[in-house]
Amino acid sequence: MNFLKNLLTLRWLTGRRVVIAVPFLWLAFAFLVPFLIVLRISFTESDMGNPFGTLMTLADGVITLKVKISNYLFIAEDELYVLTYLSSIKFAAITTALCLIIGYPFAYFMARAKPTVRPVLLMLVMLPFWTSFLLRIYAWKGILANNGIVNNFLIGIGAISEPLHLMNTQFSLIIGMVYAYLPFMILPLYANLVKMDTRFLEAAADLGATPLQAFWRITVPLSKSGIIAGSMLVFIPAIGEYVIPELLGGPETLMIGRQLWDEFFTNNDWPLASSVTVVVILLILVPMAIFNKYKAEQEARS
């Protein structure tokens, strides 16, 4: 009774709880509920007329719960899905590695630039966001196509006589992915490096470390959390990327995002598509968990 009374007097509705509750409710409504729906569909039978299928039936006073796991078994058995997952991970990993290799020096020099120049450089990194993502990716078609800018230029200077086949290859896919995700690598790295105390580098030099040694022994380990954050920000969305493989990829660049699209809208097999989605989420959860664990450890330390 007391509990009910407390509930009715709304005393628990303190400001702090309301503030936390709003985003939580939003996340529950916009992410958790849809995910549960997807999860539910993934266990049902494919039915052309009703994509949602049925999980539970009531007939003759018996509730029948029919959990169909064949979708998952199918994914595990069908070579195409396994290959697509592996290929998605491969492209996401290559993209992450290239973004790191290109982004780290970029972020480093940005962080070491004069404080007056830094906002300008930061602005330049974010400038591409002012144009539509779709447009920017589409523009690569014009650059890489057989009669595109690159080929025309190379033919023009006489380096090649036949146009190079650049579009719809792994090459064009990776270029597009790296191009699109680079800012997501640079920004967390920059935020980390700009905070770094340069006295550590002086101390390293003082103790006999050459600038290169100081970089590998001090700068890189100290920017570990920036590297992890940037890599997660690139890797996680890159795994499920749909637009870039669709526009720049080719038959050899299997990616799970396109596969999903096909299952949903070409094959109309929602249960299977939902299973594919659930597996993608599981794949992403692993690096997320590692990242969270690392962050928790770091926060516990400081």
Binding site for another protein (CB under 8 A): 197, 199-200, 202-210, 213, 217-218, 221-222, 224, 301-302
Strands 62-65 and 56-59: antiparallel
End-to-end Cα distance, the chain: 45
Q: Which residue has the tokens 């290799």?
A: 101
SS3 267: coil
How far apart are the C-alpha atoms of 87 and 238, rounded to whole Å?
12
Q: Between residues 39 and 218, which has the closer beta carbon with respect to another protein?
A: 218
Are 226 and 192 in contact, with CB atoms under 8 Å apart? yes
CB of 293 to another protein, least distance (A): 17
CB of 213 to another protein, least distance (A): 6
Q: Exposed (0-12), middle (13-18) or buried (19+): which is 42, by Cβ within 10 Å?
A: buried
CB of 161 to another protein, least distance (A): 51
- Token representation of residue 208: 């006999």
CB of 111 to another protein, least distance (A): 18
How far apart are the C-alpha atoms of 112 and 238, rounded to whole Å?
29
CB of 201 to another protein, least distance (A): 9
How far apart are the C-alpha atoms of 277 and 282, rounded to whole Å?
9
Question: Which H/E stretch holds residue 63?
Answer: strand 62-65
Q: Between residues 116 and 147, which has the closer beta carbon with respect to another protein?
A: 116
Q: Between residues 165 and 217, which has the closer beta carbon with respect to another protein?
A: 217
Q: Between residues 112 and 224, which has the closer beta carbon with respect to another protein?
A: 224
CB of 299 to another protein, least distance (A): 13
How does DSSP assign 200-219, residue by residue? HHHHHHHTT--HHHHIIIII
Q: What are phi and psi of 289, to 5 degrees?
A: -65, -40
Q: Between residues 11 and 199, which has the closer beta carbon with respect to another protein?
A: 199
CB of 121 to another protein, least distance (A): 23
Residues for the chain: how many in total?
A: 302
Q: Between residues 111 and 145, which has the closer beta carbon with respect to another protein?
A: 111
DSSP state letter for 131: S
Q: Between residues 15 and 221, which has the closer beta carbon with respect to another protein?
A: 221
